[in-house]
Structure 1
Amino acid sequence: MMEILDRRLHAFRPDLADETLKGSVEAANFVRGEPARIAAPVAQLRPGPDLARGIDTELLFGETVRVFDRAGGFAWVQADQDRYVGYLPETMLGTPEEPTHRIAVQRTFLYPGPELRKPPTATLSMGSRITVVGDVETRGTRYFVLSTGGAVIARHCLPVAETMGDDYVAVAEKFIETPYLWGGRSGFGLDCSALVQLSLMMVGKSAPRDSDMQVSIGSAITREELRRGDLVFWKGHVGIMENEQTLLHANGHTVSVAREGFEEAVKRIGWLYEQPTGYRRLG
Structure 2
Amino acid sequence: MSDLLHAFGLPPLHDPERIIEGDKNLTHASRIDGITGRPITPLKSGPDTASETLSEALYGEPVQLITEAPGWWHIVSIIDGYMGWVSESAIADYEFLPTHRVTAPLTHVYSEPDLKSEPELILPMGAFVSLPGLEENGFAETALEGWIYKKHLTPVGSADPAEAPVSIAEQFIGSPYLWGGRSKLGIDCSGLVQVSLAHAGFRVLRDTGPQFRSLGRLLGPEEKPVRGDLAFFPGHVGWMIDGVHLLHANATHMSVTIDPVSEVTCWVQKDLERKGKTTPPFSGFRRLD
| Fold in common (TM above 0.5) | yes
Which residue matches 1:198?
195
Paired residue type of 2:26: L
Aligned residues of 2:233 and 2:265 also touching (Cα < 8 A): no
Cα offset for 1:264?
A: 2.4
- Corresponding residue to 2:155 among 144, 153, 159: 159
Deviation at 1:33, TM superposition (A): 6.0
For structure 2, the 5+ residue unaligned runs are 1-20, 273-279
8 A contact 2:177–2:251 mirrored in 1 = yes
Q: Conserved in 2, the CA contact under 8 Å of 1:33 and 1:68?
A: no
Task: Tell me: higher relative CO, structure 1 or 2? Use CA pairs within 8 A at least 6 residues apart.
Answer: 2
Identity %: 34
Q: Deviations over 1:82-125 (max 9, x none)?
A: 00011100111111231111111110111122222222111100
Which of 14, 23, 36 is the matching residue for 1:6?
23
- Does structure 1 conserve the Cα–Cα contact (< 8 Å) formed by 2:112 and 2:118? no
Task: Check conservation: 1:109, 1:124, Cα contact below 8 A.
Answer: yes
| Partner SS state of residue 193, structure 1 | helix
User: In structure 1, the residue corresponding to 2:174 is in which secondary structure?
Assistant: coil
Distance of 2:31 and 2:195 partners within structure 1: 26
Query: Residue type matched to 1:136 in 2?
Result: E
Residues paired across the two proteins, number: 258
C-alpha separation in 2, matches of 1:151 and 1:91: 23
Partner residue, 2:81? 83
Q: Is the 8 A contact 1:34 1:68 kept in 2?
A: no
TM-score normalized by the length of structure 1: 0.86
8 Å contact from structure 1 (residues 55, 183) kept in 2: yes
Letter in 2 for 1:229: G
Q: Any idea what SS the aligned residue of 1:9 has?
A: coil
Q: Deviation of residue 235 (structure 1)? A: 1.0
Secondary structure in 2 aligned to 1:208? coil
Report what 1:68 is aligned to.
66
Alignment-mate amino acid for residue 158 of structure 2: E
Note the 1:221-236 alignment, pairs <5 A.
221-222=219-220, 224-236=223-235
Higher mean C-alpha displacement, 244-253 vs 67-76: 67-76
Matched, 1:281 2:281: no
2:117 is aligned to 118
- Structure 2: which amino acid aligns with 1:7? K
Shift of the 135–167 alpha-carbon distance from structure 1 to 2, 3 Å rule, reads: same
- Equivalent positions of 1:235-274 (< 5 A) are 235-273=234-272, 274=280
CA shift, 1:136, in A, is: 3.0
| RMSD (CA atoms) | 1.8
Contact 2:246 2:260 in 1 (8 A): yes
Q: Return the TM-score normalized by structure 2.
A: 0.84
Cα distance, 1:57 vs structure 2: 0.3
Unaligned runs of 5+ residues in structure 1 are: 12-17, 19-31
Tell me if the contact between 1:41 and 1:61 (Cα under 8 Å) persists in the aligned partners. yes
